């Protein structure tokens, strides 16, 4: 059996995903065959593997860091929250149920067994498997059915390192408290700490690290400095604030910049579709929830959503529909992707996702959408605007085009799924803007329609920019982690004799109505 490690975190967004990716990249550089793994992921940011399975985009990113093709076994359970407090359960890449929180809780023993099978399979094929936890390992109300944190670590006897975000404050208390709320058996697997997002003088931090070691009996295995401008695939919209704060990719090549407003739906999904735009010099990307935030935009993007009908209602309730209509009447560009594309049509018939039946769309494209029970998962390729295009599809809504034109502006042959009428474009394909040549042609068309003297940069490579980000994470681990200690944990597991920190896990309280 190969070596393995679980990266947990004191909170959501503490840095588990990026630390896991950094360890994967560090190992891959040394010629180690490494794979990422996350037993259970709750995310609306997903990806389609080469064989048509849906997994979290964070695991796809980590697979790229590890130099391997992503696969369903790397994220066997994916939860996609929707409207009404219910979530879609995706098991081994396929949607199998829509459940509430209590319904899902009853499924967890079976899902843990399936997750352990996947972990064992990966460990049989790779030298190292780097696992990522979910949320916090000290969710004391959920421990008895946990499959992603200490439940997984205990069943597979994985050593655990815990990441804490010092930029939020309270990192020492959160680390100590996390350990002190675990049972003696769970504590025996927690072998060390990572301090993430550190700014300032390391000399001031050093006494605190030593005190933490004395209090817990576990060393700090690395202090990672704040990495500015990080934009790698996030699991949820907690990371969107950092998107708006990213430094510009560079000044414009032409005389003017291009302003892009992306509507931030409540159940926003696959928001990474706009990452490639943010990497273009002279393109300013901002999230929008108010009418005035669309006013000076040269392009408005309606991105994907897990709840098309509910988020369409939100769009109307926020007063965003009339600004969109005024844009279109003025010839200013609007792009809809997947759920956003569905909203642009004349009618949506949904008996699957929302159960709302027939609902009027925005009427900006001559399309009709009918939701099917089977989810469409695909990795299509084609030609659009005279350029090769590859993308991926994740949707229940099937769009029928009843007029208009294809997704082109210059009469070139087109195989990109979608529709266009005047300044309004729509497509079911995610990831199309990651195709460099196509993106440049599309942005040039947008600039022309918006009357901007904007010129796309001729040499921007989104794939190269992503690799640079992954390399930066590998550098972070190589330069700021105790890699010798990390190797020992991977090869030998948690050391024996780690001290117990009281009080430990409280006695479980029986849930009302449970048996």
Among 338, 395, 396, 419, the one annotated catalytic: 338
Which token pair is 146?
A: 């946990």
Give the residue from 475, 379, 467 showing the smallest Cα distance to 429. Answer: 379
SS3 state at 16: helix
- Return the DSSP state at 85: G
In whole angstroms, how large is the CA radius of gyration of the chain? 24
Give the residue from 168, 143, 230 showing the smallest Cα distance to 14. Answer: 168
Among 395, 396, 430, 480, the one annotated catalytic: 430
Q: Are 41 and 135 in contact (CB under 8 A)?
A: no
Q: How many CB atoms lie within 10 A of CB 124?
A: 10
Give the residue from 82, 116, 74 showing the smallest Cα distance to 99. Answer: 82
Give the residue from 455, 449, 405, 452 showing the smallest Cα distance to 427. Answer: 405
Quickly list DSSP for 422-485. TTEEEES-BSGGGSHHHHHHHHHHHHHHHT------TT--HHHHHHHHHHHHHHHHHHHB-HHH
Per the annotation, the verdict on 419 as an active-site residue is no
Residue 504: exposure state from Cβ atoms within 10 A (0-12, 13-18, ≥19):
middle
Give the residue from 215, 213, 167, 170 showing the smallest Cα distance to 193. Answer: 213
What whole-number distance in Å separates Cα of residue 133 and Cα of residue 223?
19
What whole-number distance in Å separates Cα of residue 212 and Cα of residue 215?
5
Residue ranges of alpha helices (H) inside 302-391 are 308-317, 321-329, 339-343
Per the annotation, the verdict on 480 as an active-site residue is no
Enumerate the active-site residues.
Answer: 338, 430
């Amino acid at each position: 059996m190969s070596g393995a490690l679980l990266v947990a975190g004191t909170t959501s967004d503490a840095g588990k995903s990026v630390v896991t990716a950094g360890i994967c990249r560090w190992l891959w550089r040394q010629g180690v065959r490494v794979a990422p793994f996350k037993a259970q992921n709750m995310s609306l940011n997903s990806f389609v593997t080469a064989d048509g399975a849906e997994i979290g985009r964070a695991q796809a990113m980590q697979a790229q860091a590890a130099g391997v093709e992503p696969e369903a076994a790397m994220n066997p359970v994916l939860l996609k929250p929707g409207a009404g407090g219910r979530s879609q359960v995706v098991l081994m890449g396929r949607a199998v149920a829509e459940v509430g929180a209590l319904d899902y809780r009853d499924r967890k023993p079976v899902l843990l067994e399936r997750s352990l099978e996947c972990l064992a399979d990966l460990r049989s094929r790779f030298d190292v498997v780097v696992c990522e936890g979910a949320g916090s390992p000290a969710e004391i109300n959920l421990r008895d059915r946990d499959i992603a944190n200490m439940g997984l670590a205990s069943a597979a006897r994985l050593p655990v390192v815990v990441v804490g975000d010092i930029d939020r404050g309270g990192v020492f208390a959160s680390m100590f408290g996390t350990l002190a709320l675990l049972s003696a058996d769970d504590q025996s697997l927690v072998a060390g700490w990572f301090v993430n997002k550190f700014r300032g003088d390391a000399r001031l931090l050093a006494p605190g690290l030593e005190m933490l070691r004395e209090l817990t009996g576990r060393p700090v295995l690395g202090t990672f400095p704040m990495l500015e401008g990080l934009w790698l695939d996030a699991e949820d919209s907690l990371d969107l604030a950092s998107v708006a704060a990213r430094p510009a990719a560079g000044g414009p090549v032409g005389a003017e910049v291009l302003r892009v407003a992306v509507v931030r739906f409540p159940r926003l999904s696959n928001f990474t579709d706009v990452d490639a735009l943010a990497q273009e010099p002279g393109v300013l990307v901002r999230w929008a929830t108010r009418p005035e935030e669309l006013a000076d935009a040269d392009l408005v993007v309606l991105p994907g959503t897990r709840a098309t009908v509910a988020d369409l209602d939100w769009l109307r309730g926020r007063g965003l529909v009339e600004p969109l209509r005024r844009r279109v009447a003025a010839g200013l560009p609007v792009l809809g992707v997947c759920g956003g594309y569905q909203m642009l049509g004349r009618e949506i018939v949904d008996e699957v996702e929302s159960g709302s039946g027939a609902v009027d769309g925005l009427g900006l494209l001559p399309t009709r959408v009918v939701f099917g029970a089977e989810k469409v998962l695909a990795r299509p390729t084609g030609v659009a605007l005279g350029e090769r295009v590859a993308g991926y599809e994740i949707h229940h809504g099937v769009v029928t085009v009843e007029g208009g034109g294809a997704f082109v502006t210059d009469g070139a042959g087109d195989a990109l799924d979608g529709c266009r009428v005047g300044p309004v474009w729509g497509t079911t394909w995610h990831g199309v803007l990651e195709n460099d040549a196509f993106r440049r042609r599309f942005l040039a068309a947008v600039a022309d329609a918006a009357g901007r003297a904007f010129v796309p940069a001729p040499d921007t490579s989104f794939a190269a920019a992503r690799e640079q980000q992954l390399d930066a994470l590998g550098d972070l681990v190589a330069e700021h982690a105790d890699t010798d200690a990390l190797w020992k944990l991977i090869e030998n597991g948690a050391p024996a004799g780690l001290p117990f920190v009281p009080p430990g896990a409280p006695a479980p309280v029986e849930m009302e109505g449970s048996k």
